[in-house]
């Protein structure tokens, strides 16, 4: 499908629908940005609801698209899948000075950076919250009144915080092994210090638990977490999300899955449950 | 699962079963060889049937394992999936002098090479037909009386020729976009000339159509072929397999799939049909 404002990188038929990778110029990041879009067969005839999927550290738009096997159920349910990249890219974009995997390229953390040199390009919050939805809403056959969001690890953090800040926009939010409280783990501490600076009060809008403590509400959250996930205790901390939701009266369905790790095999195993959960909430 | 003779490279729970990557020393190739093995949950209690999957040009054991999404239905049906590499690897293994993708590393064509310098390591026929089945039959909880085989492109050629030469071993054979007649396409011509030499009579055991013409028989073959596959007319030529099966009275179910290309999205879309077809034939 040719789409105004988008350049097609690749397209392939899958499960009766079409898997696209698009690129476009982003005003927010000041770079070319790539994203993947799966359009189910129903999109030939009508605008379809959208599930956003935000990826984790080191990922691009490709990981979920190639590894999760989500297209099968998306085609059955008639929902589009949009999988953005995880950071700006390009020679002009600064990276972690040590080339670490958890900051800089592939690690945008879904924030609008305020600290130099990151603030020039690292604007993944506004890119995902505002620019990309406006673009795909115009260019693709999507029903933007029916959006849901999910993500993995750093992308689970992104999904939770974006949904908590925009409850009117997203009819459902779920996550796979999310970073539940970036203010209280090493990954988040490094990222928020770097991108936002030392004032921890400014970090709160990028921490799902702090957002909930500060009054943000969504009707329900669905989380899967593998119990053999090597990042569970040190970085992910679902027990903090559980406590925050308990205190706030948010219905959290947190499934602790014995034997599963942090990989896409874990996501592939449970993505169908997430799609069907979102379908019930969005009525698709 | 620790398995005698095998070193575990990685393991991850998936769909209630376990996805392993193993490495081992191969006598046939004289190298370390990797393969992927998915064991369904049923393998905890009993020996399970096996579906072999042979990959195409440029692939390793990883492509099918990560991209095809076959584990879901394999777990439901209780069948193991074994996905070998496509050639020997290592500094000692010669590659195409021009580094081409269609000969040498990643392009073993499932033959036992007779020409120098290839004959020392390129023994993928004996590796797949003899050495690896003996190894996994000993090391893993597999019922080697119930084996089936499939593959993609060059691996579809591998599956067809191995099954035609070993009909007592494989209860079913299917393929995705196979090279149907390597003797009559540029990929096959290059590979067979290089690995086997100029005497075309010796090529016939590596050509599914020629094997059928020479009397090889299997009860049935199931093939999916995408009609937007860029290699369809020049390299794959399913019409030649159709003609050979017609003349021999072999029941060929050849589905021409409009819109599908040569990618793993095509395989992911139809792998469930192949698994269920094999399950009926093997009784799993």
pLDDT one-digit tens code per residue, B266-275: 999 999 999 9
Residue ranges with strand state E in chain B: 7-14, 17-25, 32-39, 48-54, 80-84, 142-151, 170-176, 220-226, 251-257
Q: Please state the rounded mean pLDDT for residues A204-220.
A: 98
Q: Is the pLDDT of residue A271 over 80?
A: yes
Separation between Cα atoms, residue A38 and residue A63, nearest integer Å:
13
Mean pLDDT confidence for B69-95: 97
Q: CA dist B6 to A47, B3, B24, B70, B87, Å? A: 51, 5, 5, 23, 18
Residues A251, A253, A255: CA angle, nearest 5 degrees = 160
Instruction: Determine whether the interchain pair A261/B12 forms a contact, defined as Cβ–Cβ distance below 8 Å.
Output: yes
> How far is the C-alpha of A68 from the C-alpha of A271, rounded, in Å?
7
| Termini Cα distance of chain A | 22
Buried b (16+ CB within 10 A) or exposed e, A149-171: bbbbbbbbbbbbbbbbbbeeebb
CA distance A224 to A97: 33
pLDDT above 70: residue A13: yes
Mean pLDDT of B161-172: 96
Is the Cβ–Cβ distance between B162 and B186 less than 8 Å?
A: no
Closest residue by Cα to residue B261 from B238, B229, B237, B235:
B229
What sign does the dihedral B164-B170-B172-B173 (CA atoms) show? negative
Nearest-10 Cα torsion for B70, B72, B76, B78:
50
Tokens 């769909």 label which residue?
B15
Pair of tokens at residue A215: 């009054």
B20: closest CA among B69, B87, B71? B71
C-alpha–C-alpha distance, residues A115 and B249, integer Å: 73
Q: Report the percentage of chain B scoring pLDDT > 90.
A: 97
| Cβ-defined contact of A71 to B13 (cutoff 8 Å) | no
Mutation to test the B interface, candidates A8, A39, A265, most B Cβ within 10 Å: A265
Q: What angle do CA A161, A163, A166 make, to 5 degrees?
A: 110
Q: Please report, rounded to a whole number, the percentage of residues in chain A having pLDDT higher than 90.
A: 97
The torsion angle over the Cα atoms of residues A23, A24, A27 and A28, rounded to 10 degrees, is: -20
Residue matched to tokens 């094997």: B211
**pLDDT attached to residue A284:** 73
Confidence of residue B3 (pLDDT cuts 50, 70, 90): confident
Distance CA B94, CA B91 (A): 8
- Compute the nearest-CA separation of B39 from chain A (Å): 13
CA distances from A110 to A79, A84, A169, A231, A255 (A): 23, 11, 17, 19, 25
**Contact by Cβ (8 Å): B33, B127:** yes
Residue A131's pLDDT band (boundaries 50, 70, 90)? Answer: very high
For residues B158-172, average pLDDT: 96
Cα→Cα distances B203→A142, A270, B70, Å: 53, 46, 32
- Contacts for A117 with CB less than 8 Å, ≥ 6 apart: A94
How much is the average pLDDT of A258-270? 98
What is residue B43's DSSP assignment? Answer: G
Q: What's the first-to-final CA gap in chain B, in angstroms?
A: 22
Instruction: Determine, for residues A268 and B228 on separate chains, whether the beta-carbon distance falls below 8 Å.
Output: no
The separation between CA A114 and the C-alpha centre of its own chain, rounded to angstroms, equals: 21
Q: Average the pLDDT over B3-7 and give the result.
A: 87
pLDDT confidence bin for A283, thresholds 50/70/90: confident
Taking CA atoms, A114 is separated from A192, B37, B131, B154, in Å, by 10, 47, 60, 52
Half-sphere CA count of B146, side-chain side, radius 13 A: 18
Interface of A with B (CB under 8 A): 12-16, 19, 66-67, 69, 71-72, 226, 228, 259-261, 263-266, 268-269
Distance in angstroms (rounded) separating the CA atoms of residues A49 and A31: 28
What is the DSSP pairing of strand A7-14 with strand A17-25?
A: antiparallel
Residue A116 has a CB neighbour count (10 Å cut-off) of 9
Whether B158 and B176 have beta carbons less than 8 Å apart is answered as no
Task: Give me the active site residues of A, please.
Answer: 153, 229, 262
CA A236, CA A240: separation in Å to the nearest integer?
9
**Residue of B10, B39, B269, B272 to mutate, interface with A, max A Cβ within 10 Å:** B269
**If we measure between CA atoms, which residue out of B106, B124, B107 comes closest to residue B30?**
B124
- How many residue pairs bridge chain A and chain B with CB atoms within 8 Å of each other? 61
The vertex-A34 CA angle with A33 and A38, nearest 5°, equals: 145
Q: Which residue of B has its CA nearest to A264?
A: B66
Does residue B115 have a pLDDT over 70?
yes
CA A95 to chain centre: 21
Per-residue model confidence as pLDDT tens digits over A141-195: 999 999 999 999 999 999 999 999 999 999 999 999 999 999 999 999 999 999 9
Tell me the ipTM for this assembly.
0.95
pLDDT at position A6 = 96
pLDDT of A1 above 70: no
pLDDT digits (tens, 9 = 90+) for A41-60: 999 999 999 999 999 999 99
Q: Select the residue of B13, B226, B268 nearest A69 (Cβ to Cβ).
A: B268
Whether the predicted pLDDT of B184 surpasses 80: yes
Cα–Cα distances (Å) from A226 to A78, A209, B21, in that order, read: 28, 20, 20
* CB nearest to B14's CB, from A12, A71, A269: A269
Domains of chain B: 7-281 (3.40.50.1820)
Is residue A2 scored above 70 in pLDDT?
no
Q: Which residues contact B86 (CB under 8 A, 6 or more apart)?
A: B54, B55, B56, B57, B58, B59, B60, B106, B107, B108, B124, B154, B155
What tokens does B154 get? 């060059």
Q: Report the alpha-carbon distance of residue B180 to residue B212 in Å, rounded.
A: 11
B14 closest CB neighbour out of A15, A228, A265? A265
Query: Is the model's pLDDT at B101 over the cut of 90?
Result: yes
User: Using CB atoms, which residue from A66, A72, A259 is nearest to B67?
Assistant: A66
Q: What is the mean predicted confidence (pLDDT) over B8-24?
A: 98
Please tell me which residue of chain A has the smallest CA distance to B20: A265
Q: What is the pLDDT of residue A137?
A: 97
Band the pLDDT of A105: cuts 50, 70, 90: very high
Whether the upstream peptide bond of residue A117 has omega within 30° of 0, thus cis, is yes
């Amino acid at each position: 499908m040719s789409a105004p404002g988008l350049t097609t990188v690749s397209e392939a038929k899958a499960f009766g629908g079409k898997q696209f990778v698009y690129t476009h110029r982003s005003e927010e990041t000041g770079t070319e940005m790539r994203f993947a879009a799966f359009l189910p067969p129903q999109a030939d005839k009508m605008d379809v609801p959208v599930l956003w999927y935000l990826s984790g550290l080191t990922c691009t738009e490709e990981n979920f698209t190639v590894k999760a096997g989500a297209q099968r159920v998306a085609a059955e349910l008639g929902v589009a899948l949009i999988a953005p990249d995880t950071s700006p890219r390009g020679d002009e974009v600064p990276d972690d000075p040590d080339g670490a995997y958890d900051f800089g390229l592939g690690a945008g953390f879904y924030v609008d950076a305020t600290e130099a040199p990151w603030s020039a390009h690292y604007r993944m919050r506004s890119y995902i919250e505002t620019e990309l939805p406006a673009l795909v809403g115009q260019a693709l056959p999507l029903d933007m009144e029916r959006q849901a969001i999910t993500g993995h690890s750093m992308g689970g953090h992104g999904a939770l915080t974006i949904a908590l800040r925009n409850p009117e926009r997203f009819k459902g939010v779920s996550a796979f092994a999310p970073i539940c409280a970036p203010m209280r783990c090493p990954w988040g501490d490094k990222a928020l210090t770097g991108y936002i600076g030392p004032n921890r009060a400014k970090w709160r809008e990028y921490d799902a638990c702090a957002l909930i403590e500060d009054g943000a509400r969504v009707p329900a959250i669905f989380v899967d977490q593998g119990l053999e996930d090597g990042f569970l205790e040190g970085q992910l901390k679902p027990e903090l999300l559980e406590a925050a939701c308990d205190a706030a009266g948010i219905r959290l369905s947190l499934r602790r899955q014995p034997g599963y790790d942090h990989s896409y095999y874990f996501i592939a195993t449970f993505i169908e449950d997430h799609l069907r959960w979102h379908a019930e909430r969005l009525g698709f």
